[in-house]
A and B are shown apart, each in its own frame.
Chain A
Amino acid sequence: MADIFRTLSVPAADAPLARQIADTLGGAGAQGMWETPLGPTADGPVTWYVSSGLIPTDFAYMVPCTYWAMDEDGNWVETGYEPGNPVAVYEGCVAAGLSVTQQEIDGLFARADVNDQDPWVAFARMGVTIVQMPEPEPEPAPEPQDFPFAEE
């Protein structure tokens, strides 16, 4: 079955648990989720973390999803909601040895903002943007090379 597009945001405080669950149930394809920080401005503070893209169908059906439409006045209207399957998520996590409670998963699902919107449309609706993080440290300089165009 084709993958399904989702934009999945979780509150910053929930991100570690969300990552643990994804790592536990999602396999290699779910590694590295929720590493992009969101906040009210590009300078922060970080209030959410987001992932967006095509994800496997079985993964998509486990998590909740809210559907939105913009009315003629430009207001977002909720047009549908799928609760996902928090019980299956809990059972899968426990079976895989992850220490988590059903209550924690229910809370994560309730606080998450999962939808099928373009991420930037979702950000506008949520009133957030990507928080810009500092650039990584440089790598060591490469070994000196012979300059190929040196004068003879």
Chain B
Amino acid sequence: MPVGIELGGMSRRRRRGAITAFSPSQLFASNEQGLWLDPSDTSTLFQDSAGTTPVTAVEQAVGLMLDKSKGLLSSTNTGFTPASGAGHSFNTPDSVANSITGDIDIRWYGYTILSAAGGGTFCGKWGSAGQQAYAFDFAGTAGALRFYYTSDGSTSTGRVATSSVTPISAGLTNNVPCGLRATYKTSTGEVLFYYDKLDGLGWVQLGATQTITSGAIFDTTGLLYVNDRMAASVSAQLNTSRLQIYNGINGTLAVDFDPTRYTGGTTFIAATGEVWTLTGAGTRITPSGNHVSASADARRPILRARYNGIRYTEKFANSESLTAVTCVNDVADTLAPNGTQTASRATETTANSVHNIFMGSTFVPSTAGLRQTISVYAKAGTCPFIQLTTAGSASNPYANFDLINGTVTATGGTTVIATSITDAGDGWWRCVMIAEPVIGGSHSINMLLTGTGARSESYTGTSRTVFLWGRDLRVTNDGVGLPEYQRVGAVDTDYDTVGFPPYLAFDGVDDCLFTASTVNFTATDEMTVVSGARKLSDAAQGALLESSPASTNVGRFNIFAPASTGASGNFQFSSRGTIAGSSATSATTLAPVSAILTGRADISSPLTELRINGAVSATNTTTSQGTGNYGNYAFFVGARNNSTTRFNGRIYGIIVRGATTATPTLEQTETWMNGKTEAY
């Protein structure tokens, strides 16, 4: 069932075929304490710390990120749902869609006291006699599910199916999010009940198939209720996070009660079109979990999927580019490589001897020696040559491209790593230079008089033209297998996201998310941490995650990126029991760099192990961590205690499991995390 928006990162995983049935939820199947934070699942992200405003797009602040380790997998988001008890429900008018008379498939998600006598009603279209159609509840034998219907609006005798076992006896737990389902086949009278523990394994049949009197379902004109079957009839001790009714078993989704669409007032409109109206009181549900939040605006990280460092990637005439040539956008002369009228035409001016189109970027740092990939689609007009170069030093690298013959005609400067020119069709060529500038600076596309022209060749303009489109500048190691071009518009909030893994951008200045309550790890002295991250700077220590407010606290663990700074920039996983802890520290790994960082620790062994990208980087089995278990502290992401040691970089995901994890499962987890990060 699709929930929220899963941004980016999918196309490559499909190509690899590396995705298996593994889900991180399996790491928490035995109620292991921990966290699973997944920025790619926007259904878990909210702009405010109270969870009232969902994150709907990139470049929005994240004030609350829900922990998925406690069963948020399908749909248990914060949302507005009827309060528990009789008289609190949502209803929607009779419609063709909800007047299902044939096979029906009802799926409920939420949490409740499954063992409660009297239970509650998930949904019902069940008015007074003569207006009774169907209902799904567990209001009968304590905890057993029921589905019932009439064919004439009144007669339910022989048409009540009760599950042979209860969800509790099947292993579900009171007040833990789950899914429950009933299907009814009109031709045979067969009713099947199912449960879903939201562990990634999907629906499991609950008990035996029940057979009741077969027949079509009555077409009533009454309302359809959620958390009730008719107005104020049955006590509904439910927290419903989703209810879906399908016309046909596994048929067409006809009704979709999704309270995350509620934004205020007493009504909301479902994705399937029906209007839901609240009767009685509502309540905002926040599922259990170690959610992390930030109440202060500026301290919230930003959901982002930006990789291309420059703006106006298809508008070469703009207010930012300090160009010496004349550019016109969206010309009719030629279509862009993607078939749209979005190409720009650059024309040399005769007024000066400089013929560049400036490509400034504050997103890609102007760091000397930083390996960058600079690319642009170009098509010859009357000018057959262009040059890509880096500004700031006459010694900086450049590469010349022949747009008629599709060749790289010259390179120079310090240091060109690689170049390429690739046929993009219809006379277009994708020109690429990978380089490490001797001095950081901005970049330029230069028009050239000859294919062997010098860097920033000076000559009197001849009014020649070249067509340009789709320029891209990114740090070369920023993701593996990502699309080679990312469109960026006039502002930093306007860019394409498909294929680009989303992340939380922590600014290293004041951003931090942390749990409002403590996370109790006192039942274990073993720990597993898997995170996908990109370290952007080694200038200062950065706490990627930490399990307590201070490194000196008994029973804490953390990952630092970096621990050592400057030219010694690295990664470190650290753990301690009752005495000063042990660390596993990587070799120098300078920023910017993406990595899957895994920590495994065992206080008593002692063991502290750091894995990077699926391979052991450092192991410490000699330094004692003392005794005891891990502690019961607030958990911090992106800083120490929301006050110091702020992480400057990106987080693609964090999984913390208060238990040891066998290597095969750990490798699956790392592969899963890399699918979100594309680090290697």
Instruction: Give A26 to B297 CA distance when docked, in angstroms.
Output: 10
Query: In the complex, what residues of B have CB within 8 A of residue A139's CB?
Result: 548-550, 553, 633
Instruction: Give A132 to B645 CA distance when docked, in angstroms.
Output: 8
B550 touches A136 (CB 8 A): yes
> 1/0 per residue B460-473: CB within 8 Å of A?
00000000000000
> 1/0 per residue B593-608: CB within 8 Å of A?
0000000000010000
State which residues 492-512 of B face A: CB under 8 Å.
492-493, 507-511
A142 touches B492 (CB 8 A): no
Instruction: Give A42 to B565 CA distance when docked, in angstroms.
Output: 11
Instruction: Give A56 to B550 CA distance when docked, in angstroms.
Output: 32
Residue A52 lies at the interface, judged by CB distance under 8 Å to chain B:
yes
B297 touches A55 (CB 8 A): yes
Known: A70-B442, A73-B391, A136-B641. A52 touches B493 (CB 8 A): no
With both chains docked as a complex, state the minimum distance between the C-beta of B64 and any C-beta of chain A, in angstroms.
13
A69 touches B550 (CB 8 A): no
Residue B439 lies at the interface, judged by CB distance under 8 Å to chain A:
yes
- Taking residues whose C-beta sits less than 8 angstroms from the other chain, chain B's interface range is 35 or more
Instruction: Give A35 to B644 CA distance when docked, in angstroms.
Output: 10
Known: A54-B297, A130-B509, A147-B525. A117 touches B552 (CB 8 A): no
B539 touches A144 (CB 8 A): no
A138 touches B553 (CB 8 A): yes
One of A87-95, A100-108, A118-126 contacting the partner:
A118-126
Residue B523 lies at the interface, judged by CB distance under 8 Å to chain A:
yes
Query: In the complex, what residues of B have CB within 8 A of residue A56's CB?
Result: 297
Residue B482 lies at the interface, judged by CB distance under 8 Å to chain A:
no
A136 touches B61 (CB 8 A): no
Known: A28-B295, A50-B509, A118-B362. A35 touches B442 (CB 8 A): no
State which residues 70-93 of A face B: CB under 8 Å.
70-74
Interface SS of chain A: helix, strand, loop or mixed? loop
A53 touches B300 (CB 8 A): yes
Query: Which among A29, A52, A138, A148 has the greatest number of chain B C-beta atoms within 10 A?
Result: A29
Known: A2-B60, A29-B296, A52-B509. A72 touches B441 (CB 8 A): yes
Residue B93 lies at the interface, judged by CB distance under 8 Å to chain A:
no
- Taking residues whose C-beta sits less than 8 angstroms from the other chain, chain A's interface range is 35 or more
Query: In the complex, what residues of B have CB within 8 A of residue A134's CB?
Result: 644
Residue B207 lies at the interface, judged by CB distance under 8 Å to chain A:
no
Query: In the complex, what residues of A have CB within 8 A of residue B536's CB?
Result: 120
With both chains docked as a complex, state the minimum distance between the C-beta of A48 and any C-beta of chain B, in angstroms.
11
Q: Which of B439, B553, B578 contacts A74 (CB 8 A)?
A: B439
Residues of B at the A interface (CB closer than 8 Å) are 59-61, 295-300, 302, 320, 322, 356, 358, 360, 362-363, 365-366, 391-392, 439-442, 444, 492-493, 507-511, 522-525, 536-537, 539-541, 548-555, 578, 604, 627-629, 631-633, 640-641, 643-646, 648
